Structure 1
Amino acid sequence: MPRNAVVGVDIGTSSSKGVLVDAGSGAVLRSAVREHAVDRPGPGRFEMEAGVWWEEFTGLARELTAGLGPDRAVAAVGISGMGPCVLLTDDGDTPLRPAVLYGVDTRATAQIDRLNDELGADEIVRRCGSALSSQAAGAKIAWVADEEPAVFARARRLYMPSSWLVRQLTGAYVLDHHSASQCTPLYDTNALNWYGPWAGRIAPGLELPPLRWSGEAAGTLTPAAAAATGLPAGIPVTTGTIDAWAEAVSVGAQGPGDLMLMYGTTMFLVHTVPDAALLTSPALWSTVGALPGTRNLAGGMATSGAVTSWLRELFGSAGYGELLRLAEESGPGANGLLMLPYFAGERTPLMDPLARGVVAGLSLSHTRGDLYRAALEGTAHGVRHNIEAIEAAGGDIRRVVAVGGGTQGALWTRIVSDVTGRPQELRATTIGASYGGALLAAQLVGDARIDDWNPVAETVEPDPAATARYDELYALYRELYPASAGVVHALAARQHR
């Protein structure tokens, strides 16, 4: 009998990643990546063509399964993707425009203001769990309706990267509950369903998808999808979810008190609270979890790895290894530099789409290593700010689990532990969302358990001396935003002209 394997694929902001995993042990047998860029058609706007998602999935699936011998059989597929995104199609599933991406896209500020006035900001939080922000997919739908009425008049279905792939693979039109809960104000987090009165008002004519939990089977692979991907027809495909929640699955961070910290293009935090506790905060997102019986307080920084990538591009030939070495040499405090990493606005806890990056303390003596260190430390300060907001909202963080590409190289995770004063667990496999998708796929066909698949490998402990030094810098970090906001907002307004 061949041994079962599962495929997990995640559509991310800068790349799509896939893994082939042994369904019994969790061992990664193969991995593959397709890098891509998002479109930026104007200030504050981030878009992507849906065709890229399917093209990259088919390429990844074929690469991961090419030449598999008779001892291996792909038994299931797990999906995840960036989000919440808004891809609108006509009744024949033809995309009507590029997908509007998640909270990095800040175009819908006027719609947020209008919906708050019409529906009531407090009532939105009470029913939907979260205040309207650039993260809210419902506001982006309203933007299309307002600004592109001819497009919206033809719109019949709503997709995100994960649900679009599910549609191509199985023919099913479904969305997971967690992704729906980020479609504020269309989803009622108390009733666990679309809220008809507001959905009909904001998205008239849209056939909103039926809802399932992330680990449920959406359907089985069609013969046409099998021909396109090289995967076996008839195998189950998960409903899938947004990437950060699949990341949490990949490291077992779904218990009450857990905080998943995702190091990626953006920094994401997902704190699990007891199911009975619908905690809300205007500075955070309160969502339904990826799995039944879970709820989350979540935060997200608009940039993190995106800033380090930008610096690497500016520095030319310098690779990440060299920059990490130089940042290590710079030492705590980056020789007197302090960075606000708000290069694409900021999501939580500021909820300020007009925030911008600030580097304070520059002198002619500062080096590439100092700037790179300041970027790592700036994101760490942002993590601490979010953690404080979570606890202020009633969260009880008992364990921090780190995941994502930024955990490689040790320096960034060490800086975050030093700045926050909190240890972080690192599991043996930190690939992230694609691995979480594979785990959910394996659970469709067997008894896969995270502690067997992916045990804790190490714990990053904070250095008390470094934490004391960072306490002083964090106080300055918190002062810098209000002190510079007026100037920064005026400059941001010029960028939109």
Structure 2
Amino acid sequence: MKVSAVLGVDIGTSSSKGVLVDVDGRVLRSSTRAHEVSRPRPGWVEMDADVWWQEFVSLTRDLLAPGDVEVVAVGVSGMGPCVLLTDAANVPLRPAILYGVDTRSTDQIAQLNERFGADEILRRCGSALSSQAAGAKVAWVAENEPDLYQRARRLFMPSSWLAVKLTDEYVLDHHSASQCTPLYDTDDHDWYHPWAAEIAPGVVLPPLRWPGDVAGRVTAEAAAVTGLPAGVPVITGTIDAWSEAISVGAQGVGDLMLMYGTTMFLVHTVAARVTDPSLWGTVGALPGTRNLAGGLATSGAITAWLRELFGSPDYPDLLRLAEASGPGARGLLMLPYFAGERTPILDPQARGILAGLTVSHDRGDLYRAALEATGLGVRHNIETIEASGGDIRRVVAVGGGTQGGLWTQIVSDVTGRAQVIPAQTIGASYGAAFLAAQTGWTVSIEAWNPVTEVCEPRAEFAADYDELYGLYRELYTSSKRVAHALAARQVRFLGAARTDASKEQRNEGVAS
């Protein structure tokens, strides 16, 4: 007899994950597909949407292969906010432009602020324009790729792309829409059509639903490709960080979710609408909720980069070396701005810095400094959230970075905040599965995923980390001009390198 289960799939920055979960919240099977984003220029981060669908199909067929599970609903989520423009037949016109790690829309942000007013955008949309704003990236395509844009008719994100491929329904969730600044009005919970008509002419913006609402049902065509039963419901889905918050029950007023992944997301649930120009004010993933959110542009991306530089040792070995290094990484301090930075400095031209290096420092020190840099960035965001009117009462950790214990311990030590860690930290795919389960079952996340661990800050390290945090804040301010100048040089260097490559290709063509 087959076991009834829900399928949850999340399209992340560095991998796609799928899980099968039974009615009691037990993960029956999980599967992962690693991928890479494209970085064609400094500040540009893209991905081919075909990869999203191919990996969904591969994950689903892998998970269903034993034939012992009957899928009764499908949940989807994905990184965001992203901008995938297609024609009217849902054919992608270019690779998707990813969320705040892609910083290309600086000029469009300035133009939109001038056109509509920065204060008015913040008031209506809940967030100031930044590299996170999907609306500004639509404007970038319209301005820089006008011939392509003339064919644009629809706007997708990873979750809505999976939904349309599975159901033929063109929808988007309210939370994702609220990150399409300045296209969405967070008070009216609807597209703001006067601005949308000017910023995204010709694009028919999708009908809006809540993440747990049913988008549609698996079509016969999608069933044949994926192996899913035709007719099962597919939820609308949402952005991965908000699905992660659902997966650990971090949706109550006062909760703050910390998502440990390729990037770091912070999602704080507030009692009423709160805005701050250095944070993101959004509607929540659940009806009636509101969030104040932030994010580091790089966190796990830095540790993965270091691991590659070190010759790809196992992560447990690097964590052991980092633990031996001790608090303060033997006098090292890192700014984690390797892809610019999102909140709270909103500086796409910021760059990573490793200060205090000597020839006596080793791999463990560098790895420790990277972990501490994330903690320092989280502390900066927490202080900004609370200064803006947030009220953080509970911190919940989720994501792959919670494994091993050291990273979460460092963040607690640096911030002085305890973190609760649930039994299941697999993240967004589990949250998507939970939302899908609610289409047919009566379930609670507290029963599915109870808290099993609390990471307490260690008081003996508080003074050292207070001093390091002061230096961290000072280092950005004092190095900002140099970092911006180097960012400009990187753009020029890449342009020169591309010109040389083009000449070489032309010469090869003549020689052949």
TM-score, normalisation: structure 1: 0.98
C-alpha separation in 1, matches of 2:89 and 2:467: 58
What residue is the counterpart of 1:399 in the other structure? 394
What residue is the counterpart of 2:477 in the other structure? 482
Structure 1 residues 350-396: Cα deviation after superposition (integer angstroms, max 9, x where no partner):
00000000111101110110000000001100000000010011000
Matched letter for residue 363 of structure 2: R
What residue is the counterpart of 2:451 in the other structure? 456
1:383 aligns with 2:382: no
Helix, strand or coil at the partner of 1:335: coil
Q: Please list every run of 5 or more consecutive structure 1 residues that lacks an aligned counterpart in the other structure.
A: none
CA deviation after TM superposition for structure 1 residue 3, in Å:
3.6
What residue is the counterpart of 2:60 in the other structure? 61
C-alpha separation in 1, matches of 2:3 and 2:315: 38
1:130 aligns with 2:103: no
Helix, strand or coil at the partner of 2:438: helix
C-alpha separation in 1, matches of 2:38 and 2:61: 26
Matched letter for residue 148 of structure 2: V
CA deviation after TM superposition for structure 1 residue 2, in Å:
4.5
What residue is the counterpart of 2:34 in the other structure? 35
What residue is the counterpart of 1:14 in the other structure? 14
C-alpha separation in 1, matches of 2:187 and 2:9: 31
Alpha carbon RMSD of aligned pairs, Å?
0.7
What residue is the counterpart of 2:196 in the other structure? 199
CA deviation after TM superposition for structure 1 residue 81, in Å:
0.2
1:266 aligns with 2:263: yes
C-alpha separation in 2, matches of 1:68 and 1:429: 25
What residue is the counterpart of 2:51 in the other structure? 52
1:85 aligns with 2:109: no
What residue is the counterpart of 2:307 in the other structure? 312
1:119 aligns with 2:93: no
Matched letter for residue 76 of structure 1: A
Report which stretch shifted further, 101-110 or 312-321.
312-321
Matched letter for residue 145 of structure 1: A
What residue is the counterpart of 2:332 in the other structure? 337
C-alpha separation in 1, matches of 2:2 and 2:361: 58
Equivalent pairs counted in the alignment come to 492
Structure 1 residues 231-286: Cα deviation after superposition (integer angstroms, max 9, x where no partner):
11100001000000000000000000000000000000000011xx1100011000
What residue is the counterpart of 1:168 in the other structure? 165
C-alpha separation in 1, matches of 2:66 and 2:413: 46
What residue is the counterpart of 1:413 in the other structure? 408
1:326 aligns with 2:326: no
C-alpha separation in 1, matches of 2:138 and 2:312: 41
Structure 1 residues 383-419: Cα deviation after superposition (integer angstroms, max 9, x where no partner):
0000001001100000000000000000000000000
C-alpha separation in 2, matches of 1:11 and 1:320: 23
C-alpha separation in 2, matches of 1:349 and 1:27: 37
Q: Please list every run of 5 or more consecutive structure 2 residues that lacks an aligned counterpart in the other structure.
A: 493-512
CA deviation after TM superposition for structure 1 residue 448, in Å:
1.4
C-alpha separation in 2, matches of 1:496 and 1:228: 42
What residue is the counterpart of 1:147 in the other structure? 144
What residue is the counterpart of 2:225 in the other structure? 228
C-alpha separation in 2, matches of 1:170 and 1:302: 33
Helix, strand or coil at the partner of 1:470: helix
CA deviation after TM superposition for structure 1 residue 317, in Å:
3.6
Helix, strand or coil at the partner of 2:150: helix
Matched letter for residue 56 of structure 1: E
Helix, strand or coil at the partner of 1:233: coil
What residue is the counterpart of 2:186 in the other structure? 189
C-alpha separation in 2, matches of 1:467 and 1:75: 49
Helix, strand or coil at the partner of 2:4: strand
Matched letter for residue 176 of structure 1: D
After superposing on structure 2, the runs of 4+ consecutive aligned residues of structure 1 that deviate more than 3 Å are none
CA deviation after TM superposition for structure 1 residue 67, in Å:
1.9
Matched letter for residue 280 of structure 2: W
Matched letter for residue 338 of structure 1: L
Tell me: CA distance 1:212–1:371, structure 2 relative to 1, closer, same or farther (3 Å): same
Matched letter for residue 14 of structure 1: S
Structure 1 residues 91-111: Cα deviation after superposition (integer angstroms, max 9, x where no partner):
111100000000000000000
1:288 aligns with 2:265: no
Matched letter for residue 431 of structure 1: I
C-alpha separation in 2, matches of 1:237 and 1:91: 22
What residue is the counterpart of 2:297 in the other structure? 302
1:350 aligns with 2:345: yes
Helix, strand or coil at the partner of 1:441: helix
Aligned-pair identity in percent equals: 72
C-alpha separation in 2, matches of 1:389 and 1:151: 40
Helix, strand or coil at the partner of 2:33: strand
CA deviation after TM superposition for structure 1 residue 466, in Å:
1.1
Matched letter for residue 132 of structure 1: L
Matched letter for residue 62 of structure 1: R
C-alpha separation in 2, matches of 1:262 and 1:54: 24
1:97 aligns with 2:94: yes
Helix, strand or coil at the partner of 1:122: helix
C-alpha separation in 2, matches of 1:34 and 1:255: 32
Helix, strand or coil at the partner of 1:496: helix
Matched letter for residue 315 of structure 2: Y
Structure 1 residues 116-156: Cα deviation after superposition (integer angstroms, max 9, x where no partner):
01100000000000000000000000000000000110000
Matched letter for residue 241 of structure 1: T
C-alpha separation in 1, matches of 2:145 and 2:231: 39
Structure 1 residues 161-209: Cα deviation after superposition (integer angstroms, max 9, x where no partner):
0000000000100000000000000000010000010000000000000
Of 426, 435, 458 in structure 1, the residue corresponding to residue 430 of structure 2 is: 435
1:107 aligns with 2:104: yes
Matched letter for residue 344 of structure 1: A
Structure 1 residues 326-359: Cα deviation after superposition (integer angstroms, max 9, x where no partner):
0000000000000000000000000000000011
C-alpha separation in 2, matches of 1:14 and 1:144: 24
CA deviation after TM superposition for structure 1 residue 68, in Å:
2.2
C-alpha separation in 2, matches of 1:307 and 1:399: 27
Helix, strand or coil at the partner of 1:474: helix
C-alpha separation in 2, matches of 1:471 and 1:43: 33
